[in-house]
Amino acid sequence: MSRRADFLAANRGRRAPMPGFVLLVREREDGDPAMRLGITVTKKIGGAVVRNRMKRRFRALAREILPEQGFAGADHILIGRAGGIERDFPALKAEFSKALAKLRR
């Protein structure tokens, strides 16, 4: 996702805060079963190198977990938090699965 309006619309959806990120999920209700991903990492987290590294990690998480556990026809937004860059990848993966399970209830 790249349009600001999509990110603002997703902000009105369900959210699951975790130590390394916040996950927002919003059903699009447009009949398209595709899952879309949006990633936001602000300058508060760090410089460009740190932000890009965090975005790469989020993309890798999404590639592994969203096809099996994601919501069909929904927008998934990952917002990076300061603690997310220090967390190891298996911990982020477990948190992402936990956040999706929390939102599924």
Three-state secondary-structure class, residue 4: helix
What average pLDDT is seen over the chain? 91
CA quadruple 43, 47, 51, 56: dihedral, nearest 10: 170
CATH number of 4-104: 3.30.230.10
How many Cβ atoms sit within 10 Å of the Cβ of residue 97? 15
pLDDT in tens, 51-81: 999 999 999 999 999 999 999 989 999 999 9
Answer whether residue 1 shows pLDDT above 80. no
Answer whether residue 9 shows pLDDT above 90. no
Per DSSP, which regions of the chain are E strands?
14-17, 21-27, 36-40, 74-80
CA-CA distance, 43 to 7, in Å (whole number)?
Answer: 17
pLDDT > 70 fraction of the chain, expressed in percent and rounded? 100
